[in-house]
Amino acid sequence: MAPTSIRKFQSNPDPVKMELGWANIELFPSAPYSVSDASHLCILGLAFERQRGVDAIASDRRRDFDAWPGDLALTSPDVNIFSESAIGGEYLAVRIATQDSSSAPPRTVFRGDRRAVDLGARLRRLLLAAQPDAGLIEEQLALFLERGFALLKQAPQFPSSYELDRHAHSRVLEFIDDAIDGPLDLDQLAQLAGMSPLRFLRSFSNAVGATPHAYITERRLQRARALLRSTKEPIASIALDCGFSHQSHLGAVFKEKLGVSPHQYRVLCGGAP
């Protein structure tokens, strides 16, 4: 099957999709959703944003979930999935056949691997390009899958210290979102978490798969993307609203992380020029 790409950007956008024949890729936006699915393929997913809601995996029993950025999840084939969130969060999902799934659990989760997060972000950049290159996407996807499956073959061992630290990091994540338009520094966040800066840097990076600085940049980028899609606010104002020092700083981050300028992204989204 020839690769196909389906791209739709709106104020409440549909997923960006690419079909490669041997794998299907979907990049879900930050938007409310309710889905019910039972794919014959396995699904490898990576969360770029924190999202909370209700889900039911291989069961009719619904439970509250709290998916963190950096969570890598593998869902086995033919598993009934229900998931619903009033806010949503950007999420990369890859559907692919696997030859060794008979003894696999319905879902396996691995948290906070920086290499997997970096590979997923590079794949996102290629998917959001003005003219997606299927060949480059296939190469990047292969690297992402190789890393993801290697991690998830391991029993997900979460060090108890980091599990306990998640309560502190939850406060930090909420504080970052509330204060994203202003300066944020390591000492400030470490103090909020009740840790030394060095311990906080290690623990936070293991919790979300990114250093505090990289995570803050990602959250600012997410906020800017949402404003570019849904408002006519000038790009210079959006930059300041999201904590960037100036419009050029915002532009440099867009180019590095997404491969397009803020203006190009807004045009792709059908927003105001």
Report residue 120 as tokens.
């997923």
DSSP conformation class of 144: H
Angstrom distances, CA of residue 116 to CA of 44, 148, 273? 11, 6, 35
Sequence-distant (≥ 6) Cβ neighbours of residue 1 within 8 angstroms: 19, 20, 21
Tell me how far apart the alpha carbons of residues 204 and 166 are, in angstroms, rounded to a whole number.
8
Tell me how far apart the alpha carbons of residues 40 and 22 are, in angstroms, rounded to a whole number.
13
Confidence bin at 44 (pLDDT 50/70/90)? very high
Tell me how far apart the alpha carbons of residues 149 and 151 are, in angstroms, rounded to a whole number.
5
Alpha helices in 61-159 (DSSP H): 114-127, 134-152
Tell me how far apart the alpha carbons of residues 95 and 44 are, in angstroms, rounded to a whole number.
7
Sequence-distant (≥ 6) Cβ neighbours of residue 102 within 8 angstroms: none
Helix (H) / strand (E) element for 247: namely: helix 247-258
What integer pLDDT is reported at residue 1 of this predicted model? Answer: 35
DSSP class per residue in 147-178 = HHHHHHTS-----HHHHHHHHHHHHHHHHHHH
174-221, pLDDT tens digit by residue?
999 999 999 999 999 999 999 999 999 999 998 899 999 999 999 999
Report residue 98 as tokens.
């696997």
67-120, pLDDT tens digit by residue?
999 999 999 998 999 999 998 999 999 999 875 555 678 888 888 899 999 999
Pairing of strands 23-28, 71-75: unpaired
Confidence bin at 167 (pLDDT 50/70/90)? confident
Confidence bin at 7 (pLDDT 50/70/90)? very low
Higher pLDDT, 29 or 130: 29
